[in-house]
Structure 1
């Protein structure tokens, strides 16, 4: 009976406010839609995301080639692209605000995942919000959340670090892992993953039973999730595949 009620709810079009209708309500002010994109599997795109990308006037993106290929693979109509790379594009942020003030509907995407997480998208959102313009954020995928969910570790509280610093403050940060009670999660590149894991094995050597999870190529064909203990990490490093994108999850101290 519950499934029937849910089905009726989602098929009763008269009770659903579509993206296009919501946009029409504030068209005179313009709207910025924050649209997450798949992190590897195209089937993870949502119906709402496809509708929004179809109805918008232009798409703000990091790499126009990546976004163009995404639209092509999803069989969505071609759109005007506005490339944005962060603080260096300060003038571009003003341009985006001006277009929204004219009543346009713009979408913000990242190369993969949810805009604003470890990418410059938050700069656009901050400027648009400061201008008092309409913003809507669509829910969607993020690699670190997928890794946390698959880790089997406690995630009622966690510490997300993005990418670890390369030099300044790196060792100081790693030392804090010894006493961090929350689950720790961060991204790492294939070029640095072995070095980072080796550093963790050294820093946390006094906690040999602490669990660490290495997630590679999440949602993609070669997805791999490795569970290890700090005590066995050096052996994992010797045999692991270093291709692809990595998320590292570390159990908090008990």
Structure 2
């Protein structure tokens, strides 16, 4: 009687597990139990995840690094364990994986590999701020982080201006005032909420018109910020698109900020649909005091 060939192990489970955005007391009992029992954790930053296990008073299992800058390059060790039947929890530094955090590539790869994916819901700065804003939440757009500059930022603002929904964005503290001013210019002076350091010791929530909030947060702002902007008033037409910054003004501004001319020429040409050599020539003229 011939021996049966060995059967392949059933795949393990990938748990997409939300962690606290500040207050460690927000970790759910279900999430805590899963962290204690999984074979491994795929973590955005293993140092932050070690602190989470210290809070639980539990020994950390194998921690596999899955940083934002190299998520796709780190997938295979995680997938190999899942294919071998091990359970893995996906955690980012704070909040829900894949929401302006790494994780989406791993989840997509798990689906493609036939690995069961189980969400373990919990904190999300976007939804937390939305709930605290008092603005309509039956329809909202989560825009994450806006592009920082140039045509890409203008295009994103124009797209948001055309949306009839409540808007939710993330921003770094030191760029909050600039983004509030840009939103006011693109959307009109709508009501908005600034939620800074949610659930942490220095949590701050401020609500008011975009322009007033830009003035309030014009100084040094520390920490992580979530912005919620009310939808257009009923019957209001779409806000006028912001006027494009004149080319020479943009070039002068970026040169004054110390940006390398080659990088400026490349980014401006791509954003405006121009020939890179023409933009570079305009930069050279401005550097030497000439006019376009």
TM-score by length of 1: 0.83
The answer to whether the Cα contact below 8 Å between 1:50 and 1:76 also exists between their aligned partners in 2 is: no
Aligned counterparts of 1:35 and 1:108: Cα–Cα separation in 2: 6
Task: Give the structure 2 partner of residue 145 of structure 1.
Answer: 127
Match of 1:248 among 206, 227, 239: 227
Aligned counterparts of 1:232 and 1:194: Cα–Cα separation in 2: 10
Task: Give the structure 1 partner of residue 153 of structure 2.
Answer: 170
Task: Give the structure 2 partner of residue 85 of structure 1.
Answer: 67
Match of 2:93 among 111, 118, 123: 111
Comparing 82-91 with 113-122, which one deviates more in the overlay? 82-91
SS in 2 for 1:115: coil
The question of 1:57 aligning with 2:36 is answered: no
Give the Å deviation of 1:231: 4.6
CA deviations 1:28-66 (Å, max 9, x no partner) are 321111111100011101111011000011110011111
The question of 1:202 aligning with 2:176 is answered: no
TM-score by length of 2: 0.72
Aligned counterparts of 2:224 and 2:73: Cα–Cα separation in 1: 32
Give the Å deviation of 1:197: 1.4
Larger Rg: 2
Give the Å deviation of 1:91: 4.5
The answer to whether the Cα contact below 8 Å between 2:18 and 2:94 also exists between their aligned partners in 1 is: yes
SS in 2 for 1:156: coil
The question of 1:216 aligning with 2:199 is answered: no
CA deviations 1:184-233 (Å, max 9, x no partner) are 001000121121112223334xx33x201100111111111111113524
Shift of the 104–180 alpha-carbon distance from structure 1 to 2, 3 Å rule, reads same
The question of 1:41 aligning with 2:19 is answered: no
Task: Give the structure 2 partner of residue 7 of structure 1.
Answer: none
Aligned counterparts of 1:164 and 1:122: Cα–Cα separation in 2: 19
Aligned counterparts of 2:183 and 2:76: Cα–Cα separation in 1: 43
The answer to whether the Cα contact below 8 Å between 2:180 and 2:211 also exists between their aligned partners in 1 is: no
The answer to whether the Cα contact below 8 Å between 1:86 and 1:123 also exists between their aligned partners in 2 is: no
Aligned counterparts of 2:78 and 2:191: Cα–Cα separation in 1: 45
Give the Å deviation of 1:96: 1.5
Give the Å deviation of 1:234: 4.2
How many residues are aligned here? 224
Aligned counterparts of 2:36 and 2:11: Cα–Cα separation in 1: 20
The answer to whether the Cα contact below 8 Å between 1:179 and 1:253 also exists between their aligned partners in 2 is: no
CA deviations 1:113-140 (Å, max 9, x no partner) are 1111111201111111100011111111
Task: Give the structure 2 partner of residue 94 of structure 1.
Answer: 76
